[in-house]
């Protein structure tokens, strides 16, 4: 059984001849793009440009000395890398590291979060504090290491025990606008 379907007539060229207006750009519409333009420029300059250059250099046999000639070898460099016995070890190590990273950075935190929702009362506060402590220790340890490295006497065990009263930088900071120490 066939069903007859009527097809509407297509509009003629006279109907489509309505004048098209160009879409005008509002004066303030480009301002947000101007804010991100320096970031995009540096991203392209420092990330994507070296990436493209490295990819193009991978098709040459060259020791990177300006006086030595570049010899085009095509995909021979890739064929040589695929035949290396260390490649299989590198791939296995990469898969193991990715799997371990996913377990310790995704699965384990989700399990801990789900378990922590079941803890009630005073134990919940202690449990939350124990989870949050590593986030506090890292910046404190980092700042202690930087303070130790930039100590006036150099990075030595004695410089980590320097008190604020003997620190010349601290006395400069504590000076009043008149130039005398407070």
pLDDT tens-digit map of 96-144: 999 999 888 888 888 888 888 888 888 888 888 888 888 889 899 999 9
Q: State whether residue 147 is helix, strand or coil.
A: helix
Prediction pTM value: 0.45
* Pairwise CA distance, residues 26 & 10, whole Å: 35
* Pairwise CA distance, residues 58 & 79, whole Å: 11
Q: State whether residue 60 is helix, strand or coil.
A: strand
Interval 105-118: pLDDT, tens: 888 888 888 888 88
* Pairwise CA distance, residues 154 & 147, whole Å: 10
Q: At what angle do helices 108-116 and 122-149 cross, to 10 degrees?
A: 140
Interval 147-162: pLDDT, tens: 988 887 777 655 445 5
Q: State whether residue 175 is helix, strand or coil.
A: strand
As to burial, measured by CB atoms within 10 angstroms (0-12 exposed, 13-18 middle, 19+ buried), residue 151 is middle
Residue 37 has pLDDT above 50, yes or no: yes
Distances (CA, A) of 87 to 10, 43, 59, 73, 170: 62, 31, 19, 21, 54
Query: How many Cα atoms within 13 Å fall on the side-chain side of residue 171?
Result: 9
DSSP H stretches of helix in the chain: 13-16, 31-43, 49-57, 76-82, 86-102, 108-116, 122-149, 168-174
pLDDT of residue 22: 78
| DSSP 8-state secondary structure symbol assigned to residue 119 | -
User: Does 46 or 7 have the greater pLDDT score?
Assistant: 46
pLDDT of residue 56: 95
């Amino acid at each position: 059984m066939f069903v007859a379907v009527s097809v509407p007539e297509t509009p003629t060229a006279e109907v489509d001849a309505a004048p098209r207006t160009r879409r005008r750009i509002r004066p303030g519409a480009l301002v947000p793009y101007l804010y991100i333009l320096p970031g995009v420029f540096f991203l392209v300059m420092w990330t994507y440009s070296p990436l493209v250059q490295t990819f193009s250099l991978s098709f040459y046999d060259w020791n990177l000395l300006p006086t030595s000639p570049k010899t085009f070898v095509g995909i021979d460099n890739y064929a040589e890398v695929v035949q290396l016995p260390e490649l299989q070890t590198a791939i296995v190590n990469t898969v193991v590291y990715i799997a371990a990273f996913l377990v310790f950075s995704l699965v384990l935190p989700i399990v801990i979060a789900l378990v922590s929702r079941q803890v009630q009362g005073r134990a919940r506060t202690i449990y939350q504090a124990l989870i949050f402590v590593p986030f506090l220790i890292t910046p404190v340890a980092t700042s202690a290491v930087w303070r130790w490295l930039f100590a006036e006497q150099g990075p030595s065990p004695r410089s980590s025990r320097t008190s604020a009263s003997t620190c010349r930088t601290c006395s400069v900071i504590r000076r009043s606008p008149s130039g005398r120490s407070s």
